[in-house]
């Protein structure tokens, strides 16, 4: 709890998710007196209801697929099914270990941790558990929750959100997934690996529609081969219960039936009733508006993470929280280039990217100034060993830097670190081509793609 009734903290943080706890840890390291308020569990959505548990489910699905397909590697194994209780135990053990480690970090850095539902009571205070916590600066980091549509009621049984899907005590025989973005395709991938008959309904014309169109098409091709069905380009109309499940009707009259409907149309900000508007903070559709330094129109209040209209990614929340802590501590800070943030969708195959899509690059620089190159994973020894398919696509400004890297294939999320450096350091293809990549590794894909773009292809045709 607060040290005493007269304590004024340097920084009071409302929300202990990725953005909030990152600000707390960095602020404490810089000598700030920090209070961190969280109504549920430290770590927020990412640790307990998002990044970590979903990736654990996806890895369990990967193991299931490897057991089914082991004979193609000369290994005889039998797949006997999914023990969902054991899967949840594995997932929960991962979460528990990280949770305990995070609690230890907060305690070690002498952060005042307050468990309770806080509410902003003024531009310099938060009320929680019947007490007022005062601060010279307040950081809002209350995160997000799964969204739904008007008239579509999530019951937690037949019509579920991603929160429910993470704790579902059975493997559904069939599922309709409303939404073909990151959340939708990740659950589609995991459930298919578990044995579920999956259909994705996406109103836009491609899966993962914010990615480069080439990546979307490659993922769609891979999903077809896996037997994951999808309907694109027609929006949802209604859902109704059947005797055994749910029926979904689209705007064109087409219907689909399944045991469960997963609503995966994104996440909305948690801001209603928390005193933000009463404190004079500018809002838009529930999001808190901030400048490039994460400061609101009220000088003593900042906001980060899913609460603000930036990329809803945990690592973005980390970066935004650190930026706020350093600004308040008086350090020189640099605004975040959101195009330079790596993005990974952890389905099978993975989709990873950083920088501009081809379409966006043409919009920014002009169609005649944009050059692209594709490097197929078939040319890569390590990818052949792993039996994964896909491509690396580079987007370059003619005679200039690479401004976009887009990758589809197993383990591509592990390659996006180098891609991030290429984009953020404005590397020329010739500069990356000089680097020697270890063989055989998948990192060679980026090296060879840049060799080809620099006019000296090795394991590919020019």
Catalytic residues, which ones?
439
8 Å CB contact between 203 and 236? yes
Residue 31: which of 109, 102, 101 has the closest Cα?
109
Residue 374, H or E segment: strand 370-376
Number of H helices, E strands in the chain: 13, 26
Q: CA-to-CA distance for 390 and 410, rounded, in angstroms?
A: 8
SS3 369: helix
- Tell how strand 174-178 and strand 301-303 pair up: unpaired
SS3 28: helix
Residue 402: which of 429, 382, 420 has the closest Cα?
429
Going 258 to 259 to 264 to 267, the CA torsion angle's sign is: positive
SS3 221: helix
- Tell how strand 267-269 and strand 144-146 pair up: antiparallel
Q: CA-to-CA distance for 167 and 174, rounded, in angstroms?
A: 17
Residue 143: which of 336, 23, 281, 287 has the closest Cα?
287
Cis ω on the peptide bond leading into residue 187 (within 30° of 0)? Answer: no
Q: CA-to-CA distance for 215 and 210, rounded, in angstroms?
A: 10
Report the chain's terminal Cα–Cα distance, integer Å.
Answer: 65
8 Å CB contact between 239 and 261? yes
**How would you write 309-324 as a 3-class SS string?**
CCCCCHHHHHHHHHHH
Going 240 to 245 to 250 to 253, the CA torsion angle's sign is: negative
- Tell how strand 236-241 and strand 246-250 pair up: antiparallel
Residue 377, H or E segment: none
Going 152 to 155 to 160 to 166, the CA torsion angle's sign is: positive
Backbone angles phi, psi at 19, to 5 degrees: -65, -45
């Amino acid at each position: 709890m607060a040290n005493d009734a007269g304590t004024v903290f340097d920084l009071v943080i409302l929300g202990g998710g990725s953005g909030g706890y990152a600000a707390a840890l960095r602020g404490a390291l810089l000598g700030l007196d920090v209070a961190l308020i969280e109504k549920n569990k430290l770590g927020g959505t990412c640790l307990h209801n998002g990044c970590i548990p979903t990736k654990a489910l996806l890895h369990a699905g990967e193991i299931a697929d490897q057991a089914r397909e082991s004979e193609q590697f000369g290994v005889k194994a039998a797949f006997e099914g999914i023990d969902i209780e054991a899967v949840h135990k594995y997932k929960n053990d991962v979460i528990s270990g990280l949770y305990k480690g995070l609690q230890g970090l907060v305690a070690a850095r002498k952060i005042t941790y307050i468990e309770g539902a806080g509410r902003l009571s003024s531009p310099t205070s938060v009320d929680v558990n019947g007490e007022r916590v005062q601060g010279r600066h307040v950081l809002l980091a209350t995160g997000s929750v799964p969204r739904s549509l008007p008239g579509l009621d999530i019951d937690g049984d037949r019509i579920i959100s991603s929160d429910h899907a993470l704790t579902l005590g059975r493997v559904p025989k069939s599922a309709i997934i409303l939404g073909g973005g990151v959340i939708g395709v990740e659950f589609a991938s995991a459930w298919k690996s578990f044995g579920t008959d999956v259909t994705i309904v996406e109103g836009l014309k491609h899966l993962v529609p914010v990615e480069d169109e080439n990546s979307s098409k490659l993922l769609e091709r891979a999903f077809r081969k896996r037997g994951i069905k999808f309907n694109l380009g027609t929006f949802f109309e209604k859902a109704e219960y059947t005797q055994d499940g749910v029926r979904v009707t689209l705007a064109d009259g087409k219907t689909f039936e399944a045991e469960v409907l997963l609503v995966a149309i994104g996440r909305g900000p948690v801001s209603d009733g928390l005193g933000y508007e009463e404190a004079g903070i500018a809002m838009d559709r529930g999001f808190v508006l901030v400048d490039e330094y994460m400061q609101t129109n009220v000088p003593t209040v900042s906001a980060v993470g899913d609460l603000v209209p930036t990329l809803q990614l945990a690592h973005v929340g980390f970066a935004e929280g650190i930026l706020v802590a350093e600004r308040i501590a008086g350090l020189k800070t640099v605004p975040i280039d959101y195009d330079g943030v790596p993005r990974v969708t952890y389905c099978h195959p993975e989709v990873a990217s950083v920088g501009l899509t081809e379409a966006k690059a043409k919009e920014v620089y002009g169609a005649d100034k944009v050059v692209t190159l594709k490097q197929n994973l078939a040319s890569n020894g390590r990818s052949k060993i792993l039996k994964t398919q896909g491509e690396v696509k580079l987007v370059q400004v003619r005679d200039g830097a690479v401004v976009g890297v887009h990758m589809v294939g197993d383990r591509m999320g592990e390659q996006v670190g180098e891609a991030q450096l290429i984009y953020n350091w404005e590397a020329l293809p010739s500069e990356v081509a000089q680097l020697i990549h270890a063989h055989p590794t998948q990192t060679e894909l980026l090296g060879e793609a840049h060799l080809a773009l620099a006019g000296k292809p090795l394991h590919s045709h020019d």
